[in-house]
Structure 1
Amino acid sequence: MAGITCYGLSSQSVLGLGSESSKSLLVMKGKQRGIRGFQIKAQVEFVNAEEAKKLVGVEGYAVVDVRDKTQFERAHIKNCYHVPLFIENTDNDIGTIVKRQLHNNFAGLFFGLPFTKVNPEFVQSVKSQFSPQSKLLLVCQEGLRSAAAAERLERAGYDNIACITSGLQTIKPGTFDSVGSKELQDAGKAGLVTIQGKISAVLGTVLICALLFVTFFPDQAEQILQMAPSS
């Protein structure tokens, strides 16, 4: 959105014309857009889920999903455009191979996150589909990538940009029509963390049963412990 500040100033103090009549001078602060003496500052608007729905349904904003391919395929807003800010890193230099292996053994394994790099064609891909005057709602899972994407597009001349605060993870089911096997708010969940709750529940149940057994059947519990091999 364009941030515009107006100041009421006399023509004498600003233009030096010596006239006694006062005039109103419009001063636009921010980035210059090629008009001498005028400056316009583009600002990114951060909205909640309901406000985002209004921007799309009433004000005609186009939804641009900047998440990676894996999260997008799990769930995305129906009829949105997919322009990822990060793409899969398939480079095969030694440094990248080592980083990819470390990533896959930790973040990839536990959180299901792909090994990615910045998409060098991001801005150009957006430009090929939208003019700088287009109204764009940028979305990602947590809100960080959409904010970074908005900053890049702002520098490229896009003025009508909005992002969902904290991302799609805050979207309640039914807010938007979606496509995919998961709800929008759950599209970022993958890897071992998705079964962590089940594992914890099973372990908790086992420990509770063991405690009850020791409490109510101490003699049998002692016999079982004596059967355990000594180190």
Structure 2
Amino acid sequence: MDSLRLPSLNALTVSHSSFQKEQRAKFSGKLNYFNSSMPPSLILSPPFRTLNRHRQHRRVMQMQAADEDYDLKQMRDMAAAKRRWDAMIREGKVNVLTPREAGYAIQLNNKTLLDVRPSVEKKKAWVKGSTWIPIFEVDDRFEMGTISRKITNFIMGGWWSGVPSLSYDNQFLSKVEEKFPKDADLIVACQRGLRSLAACELLCNSGYRNLYWVQGGLEAAAEEDLVIEGPQPLKFAGIGGVSEFLGWTDQQRVAAAKEGWGYRLLFSARLVGIFLVADALFLGVQQVSRYIQDIRSH
């Protein structure tokens, strides 16, 4: 895995660089608000306050430099991976199929579809008769390093997109080898097409020679291209978080254009409900603060 220098999971799912910068700015604003709201008893004397500010500034600069280095490394890893993947396809090591062509191969020629998506996407919708072996899976470990990554992923956009913290499955190749011989015809697919390319590279390097990649992923498939099972449409399998709840994803906008006003009213009602709940919480906090002040005054 390390020798392949695969880009991290955020780069293989959706680019959040601009979104992350916006969230950092908002988070910084919240920190400033909390600092300005500190009670007088917690405010340090001027010399210590100045020293503390210098330390905080130095830490912020270090964090910003680390973020920039991380983003730069992500871009370099992604660019290097793309060059390898382009060469792999150009040299004919992996064949390219459209979702419709993949559907024909599965239904008419009994080819096997290898679904490498994580469980959060697979449980929403899947191709009938496909074999599911995820290359990346939801990281459910509760260790110091994994918890910090989960918090960072949530702050940097996971709350909005619903993309969880994922980790590479070290048993991916062994699981595939247990089910399929090296001469098997495998149609490899994920939700958007990037993780399946990473899987094709791993499989190709391990000796598989009859590999087919679904260009654009399962999300690019039309309703008639593949036989789908599951509780949701296939195009909705890759969305989540607050954006899905409010209906602010591209997939839901397309569905709204087809379904009409009834579909849009559902998400409009959810948005109004959020504002009402937020307003009620704000009024409740005000009432509680007044109640506490009345108790202290007496």
Answer yes or no: same fold by TM over 0.5: yes
Does the CA-based 8 Å contact 1:42-1:154 persist in structure 2?
Answer: no
Q: Which runs of 4+ in 1 moved over 6 A?
A: none
Compare the two structures and name the one with the higher strand fraction. Answer: 1
2:204 to 154, 164, 167: 154
2:231 to 174, 181, 184: 181
Does the CA-based 8 Å contact 2:99-2:226 persist in structure 1?
Answer: no
Name the SS for the 1:153 alignment partner: helix
Compare the two structures and name the one with the higher helix fraction. Answer: 2
Q: Distance in 2 between matches of 1:99 and 1:187?
A: 23
Query: What are the superposed Cα offsets for residues 156-198 of structure 1, whole Å, 9 maximum, x if unpaired?
Result: 1101111111101111113222111111122111111114446
Q: Distance in 2 between matches of 1:149 and 1:157?
A: 13
Q: Which residue of 2 aligns with 1:115?
A: 165
Q: Residue 77 of structure 1 aligns to which amino acid in structure 2?
A: V
Alignment of 1:84-163 (within 5 A): 84-163=134-213
Q: Distance in 2 between matches of 1:91 and 1:75?
A: 25
Name the SS for the 2:204 alignment partner: helix
Name the SS for the 1:90 alignment partner: coil
Quick check: which has more Rg, 1 or 2? 1
TM-superposed CA distance for 1:127, in Å, is 0.3
Alignment of 1:3-42 (within 5 A): none
Q: Distance in 2 between matches of 1:73 and 1:201?
A: 27
Q: Distance in 1 between matches of 2:189 and 2:149?
A: 27
Q: Distance in 2 between matches of 1:91 and 1:184?
A: 28
Query: What are the superposed Cα offsets for residues 16-55 of structure 1, whole Å, 9 maximum, x if unpaired?
Result: xxxxxxxxxxxxxxxxxxxxxxxxx761111112211122
Does the CA-based 8 Å contact 1:42-1:158 persist in structure 2?
Answer: no
Structure 1: unaligned runs, 5 residues or longer = 1-40, 206-231
Q: Distance in 1 between matches of 2:232 and 2:225?
A: 14
Q: Which residue of 1 aligns with 2:244?
A: 194
Structure 2: unaligned runs, 5 residues or longer = 1-90, 249-265, 273-298
Aligned residue pairs: how many?
Answer: 165
CA RMSD of aligned residues (A): 2.4
Percent identity of paired positions between Structure 1 and Structure 2: 25
Q: Which residue of 2 aligns with 1:67?
A: 117
